[in-house]
């Protein structure tokens, strides 16, 4: 009889384990909206990924926010090129003309969408003057790439005078402005005003938006990424999405994909990126679903810092629509807006 409490505890523990497993395995839900109003943004490797997604799926992506990221296909599938692509080799910046040529070649083979779609894209690019990880000469090349690929000058915003380190900028959360340290989120002021990067990039992409919510009415939902991406892609088991209450009530919503940077997944920084970067507050009042896909550090594939694949660790097609990570995220966007 004395063993019954232990058995009961074991049963409860087992049931709890199964409950957590079930929660982690919840399928990504569907909502009502327009796939043609999808946009992307990201920091660092997430910025490289945002550029790749914008270029590869330009037919359905209306704009991108690029925070401390280099141009499309900069590494050309070779990890040895990454230091140049991050602007870390003095006086040797990336050559954006070569990347435009590569992208045009991929488009001619229907491996990515036609570059002509980029003529209507709206792009926000940011480089902090104190960034010691992705230097400004690399981000300059990103701007030149988009110009060469057809983005109109009136649709391209480049913010490059803020004394920020390598970080996503919020009005109040995170490190001091000039820091280059985890969680790679900092707070800065521009002209004595707190800088809200999420709002700046979303309004560059979508135009004037309603002010951000003071209090969130929606919820953060975790979902099973394994439905879309095997572990060999480097993507984590679980991703996150912010769902405004309006989207759950059937209002037509847009999707914004926010790619975290290296060492910035939930496994590394908890909810700092998907809950504290201010995206959700803008999304809440503007009918925007914010998708936060996740990549974790791994040994297979070799990705010790948990970066998105912008140099080919998942294979040579990493920057194409058939790329393992790009196609997985694209399928997630399709699911989110699958409810007619």
| Catalytic status, residue 131 | yes
Q: Which of 131, 140, 284, 309 is catalytic?
A: 131
**Residue 147 in contact with residue 103, Cβ under 8 Å?**
no
**Residue 164 in contact with residue 188, Cβ under 8 Å?**
yes
| Cα–Cα distance for residue pair 136/69, rounded to 1 Å | 9
| Catalytic status, residue 44 | yes
Q: Which of 45, 58, 166, 272 is catalytic?
A: 166
**How many CB atoms are located within 10 Å of the residue 185 CB?**
25
Q: Which DSSP letter does residue 277 get?
A: S
CA atoms within 13 A on the CB side of 94: 34
| Cα–Cα distance for residue pair 335/293, rounded to 1 Å | 13
| Catalytic status, residue 231 | no
| Cα–Cα distance for residue pair 180/133, rounded to 1 Å | 8
| Cα–Cα distance for residue pair 292/15, rounded to 1 Å | 29
Q: Which of 39, 44, 246, 265 is catalytic?
A: 44
| Cα–Cα distance for residue pair 310/73, rounded to 1 Å | 7
DSSP string computed for 50-73: HHHHHHHTTTTEEEEEEES---TT
C-alpha of 183 from chain center: 15
Tokens representing 137 are 């000469």
DSSP string computed for 286-328: HTEEEEE--B--BTTTTBTT----SSSTT-TTTTSTTSHHHHH
Q: Which DSSP letter does residue 200 get?
A: H
User: Can you tell me whether residue 186 is helix, strand or coil?
Assistant: strand
Tokens representing 246 are 């309006």
| Cα–Cα distance for residue pair 105/87, rounded to 1 Å | 25
Whole-number Cα distances in Å, 336 to 42, 233, 257: 19, 21, 11
Where in the sequence numbering do the catalytic residues fall? 44, 131, 166
């Amino acid at each position: 009889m004395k063993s019954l409490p232990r058995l009961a505890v074991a049963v409860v523990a087992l049931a709890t384990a199964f409950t957590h497993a079930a929660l982690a395995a919840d399928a990504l839900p569907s909502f009502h909206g327009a796939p043609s109003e999808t946009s992307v943004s990201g920091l660092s490797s997430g910025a490289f990924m945002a550029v790749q997604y914008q270029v590869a799926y330009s037919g359905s992506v209306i704009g991108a926010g690029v925070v401390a990221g280099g141009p499309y296909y900069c590494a050309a599938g070779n990890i040895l090129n990454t230091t140049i692509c991050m602007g870390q080799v003095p006086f040797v910046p990336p050559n954006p003309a070569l990347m435009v040529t590569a992208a045009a070649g991929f488009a001619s083979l229907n491996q990515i969408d036609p570059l002509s779609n980029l003529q209507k894209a709206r792009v926000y690019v940011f480089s902090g003057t104190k960034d010691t990880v992705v230097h400004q000469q690399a981000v300059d090349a990103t701007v030149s790439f988009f110009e060469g690929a057809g983005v109109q000058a009136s649709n391209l915003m480049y913010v490059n005078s803020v004394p920020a380190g390598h970080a996503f900028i919020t009005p109040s959360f995170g490190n001091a402005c000039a820091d280059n340290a985890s969680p790679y989120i900092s707070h800065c002021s521009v002209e004595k005003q707190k800088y809200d990067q999420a709002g700046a990039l979303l309004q560059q992409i979508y135009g004037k938006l309603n002010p951000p919510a003071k209090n969130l009415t929606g919820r953060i939902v975790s979902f099973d990424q394994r439905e879309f991406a095997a572990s060999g892609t480097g993507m984590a088991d679980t991703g996150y999405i912010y769902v405004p209450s309006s989207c759950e009530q059937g209002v037509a919503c847009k999707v914004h994909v926010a790619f975290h940077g290296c060492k910035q997944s939930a496994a590394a920084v908890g909810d700092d990126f998907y809950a504290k970067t201010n995206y959700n507050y803008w999304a809440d009042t503007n009918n925007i679903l914010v998708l936060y896909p996740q990549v974790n550090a791994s040994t297979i594939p070799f990705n010790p810092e948990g970066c998105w694949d912008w140099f080919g660790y998942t294979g040579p097609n990493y920057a194409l629509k058939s790329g393992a990570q790009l196609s997985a995220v694209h399928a997630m966007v399709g699911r989110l807006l699958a409810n007619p």
